Amino acid sequence: MIKTLNLIFSPKADIVVIGPPNSGKSSLIAYITGGLPKIADYPFTTKSPRLWTYVHNFSRYTFMDTPPLIPEAAQEINVLFRRAKILLIVLDCTQIEKLDTIKPIIEELEEYFEKDPRRKIAYVLTKIDKIKTQPDISIPHPIFPVSIEKEEGIEELKEFLFRE
């Protein structure tokens, strides 16, 4: 008898970084880890998931950079974060009002991720250097406004990520 097994490989990362195209995921990972992912001012720069490591206080943390979150990619993202401890949702603060199409997908991914209560979800609002007043968004998770350009807000985020 021949049996067919469907094996799903989910790479192990501590922190999985997801978000819409061009929101600043790779820039954030590059800034924190010192790695050199491809960064550009157009969408779909990151074509496939990639792991980046960072050592903080003698502990090693692995970040996963992911391709842009679009409806067609939701299933792939779901597989990628199965072994993660933290899901970091990165949004461009200048594009918040354009989130309608992927909002339900994000909520679905959050629901799946939160099935394990030991896991944490946080939002990062990027590019705050581009706006005068921060958008008023209400989300039941920690929110970290940051600017890679002005090097603002990163320390607060790192404190959250690397808290034991």
Phi, psi for residue 28 in degrees, rounded to 5: -65, -45
DSSP code, position 108: H
Q: How many degrees, rounded to 5, is the angle at CA 99 between CA 94 and CA 100?
A: 145
Q: 16: which 2 tokens? A: 């999985």
Q: Which residue in the set 13, 18, 21, 45 belongs to the binding site for Mg ion (CB under 5 A)?
A: 45
Residue 159 binds ligand GTP, judged by CB under 6 A: no
Q: Is 27 in the site for Mg ion (CB under 5 A)?
A: no
CA 24, CA 135: separation in Å to the nearest integer?
17
Q: Does 46 bind Mg ion (CB under 5 A)?
A: yes
Shortest Cβ 90–ligand GTP spacing (Å)? 6
The residues, ordered by sequence, that sit 6+ positions from 22 with a Cβ below 8 Å of its Cβ are: 41, 42, 43, 45, 68, 92
Q: How many residues bind ligand GTP (CB under 6 A)?
A: 23
Structure tokens at 115: 């099935």
Contact between 24 and ligand GTP per CB under 6 A: yes
Which residue is associated with the tokens 């994000």? 106
Question: 49 contacts which partner out of ligand GTP, Mg ion, none, CB within 5 to 8 A by kind?
Answer: none
CB of 20 to ligand GTP, least distance (A): 7
Give the number of residues in contact with Mg ion, rule: CB under 5 A. Answer: 4
- Rule CB under 6 A: say whether 147 interacts with ligand GTP: yes
Give the shortest CB-101-to-ligand GTP separation in angstroms.
Answer: 15
Phi, psi of 128 (to 5 degrees): -70, -15
Binding-site ranges for ligand GTP (CB under 6 A): 19, 21-27, 39-41, 43-46, 68, 126-127, 129-130, 147-149
